[in-house]
Structure 1
Amino acid sequence: MSLVIQEHARARLITDGPDPRPVPVELRYDPEQPQTVHVRLPGGADWAFGLDLLERGLRSPATRDDVRIWPCGRAQLVVELHSPDGVAVLQFDNAPLIRFLSRTGAKAAKRRPAAAPTATATATRA
């Protein structure tokens, strides 16, 4: 049984054009990197950053390194990814992100001994 959690979500790629373009996105959590979420975009681009950043971004604007996340209304979230090649702005519905975070939290709780303190999350970019 694989301990890796993968959640497929649909995001809208925000561009200068009149309509956002829907794109499939994969959210991935690996217990070997317990504080990290991986976001795989079409074309194979993979971004890694702290789960805590995603959690905070659901409630209020949060930034770490090349990743900015903020709520957009009551039911959506915007993720802005900066790279030397440019900026990608994605808009997500909250429901798949909350479901993903719930699954990762349950998995982390099963792996942690009862008396172990919670680890502090750190952000990395792949």
Structure 2
Amino acid sequence: MPDVVEQAVQARLVTPAPRMETVPTTLRYDRADPFAVSVGFPPQATLAGVAVSWAFARDLLAAGVRAPAGVGDVRVRPFGYDRTVLEFHSREGVAMVHIHTTELRRFLKRTEALVPAGREHRYLDVDQDVLELLRDAC
């Protein structure tokens, strides 16, 4: 069984222009970081022209496809019949994208097959994490 789930999706950027631009986006989940998911955007979708990835709690994504969730840098909420809005807040501003809810649910189902929700703690390598913390402290 693989340790990583990656899924390509199309995200629609919310912009002031009348038509939203669609960009290829990658959803990613790694068993080595069992509580997190990430959303990667290509250079053409960012103001700086470089690829950007946002990591946040898998639980936030799962909650946000059903009801508004999040109060910090990442917020997720349902939108219309089959869209979910992801908001990314930074010093530079707010980026909003729409992704088909069915795609997000499919991704979450694949991550659950890899690491069931509520069992993430079983996949943590606490000994390795402590070694890294101690190494960085010296």
The aligned counterpart of 1:79 is: 86
The aligned counterpart of 1:95 is: 102
Tell me if 1:104 matches 2:111: yes
One-letter amino acid of the counterpart of residue 10, structure 1: Q
Q: CA deviation at 1:86?
A: 1.6
Q: Cα deviations across residues 34-87 of structure 1 (Å, max 9, x unaligned)?
A: 110010011210100000000000110001420111000121100010111221
Of the two, which has the highest radius of gyration?
Answer: 2
Taking the aligned partners of 2:3 and 2:75, their CA distance within structure 1 comes to: 28
One-letter amino acid of the counterpart of residue 22, structure 1: T
Taking the aligned partners of 1:73 and 1:8, their CA distance within structure 2 comes to: 22
Percent identity of equivalent pairs: 40
TM-score by length of 1: 0.84
The aligned runs of 1:1-126 (5 Å cut-off) are: 2-43=2-43, 44-109=51-116, 118-119=119-120
Taking the aligned partners of 1:83 and 1:41, their CA distance within structure 2 comes to: 15
- Structure 1 unaligned spans of 5+: 121-126
Taking the aligned partners of 2:80 and 2:34, their CA distance within structure 1 comes to: 29
Taking the aligned partners of 1:17 and 1:3, their CA distance within structure 2 comes to: 40
Tell me the number of residue pairs that the alignment of Structure 1 and Structure 2 aligns: 114
Moved runs in structure 1, 4+ residues, more than 3 A?
A: 117-120
- Tell me the secondary structure at the aligned position of residue 17 of structure 1: coil
- Tell me the secondary structure at the aligned position of residue 27 of structure 1: strand
Kept in 1, the 8 Å contact 2:12–2:97? The answer is yes
Kept in 2, the 8 Å contact 1:53–1:64? The answer is no
Taking the aligned partners of 1:89 and 1:103, their CA distance within structure 2 comes to: 24
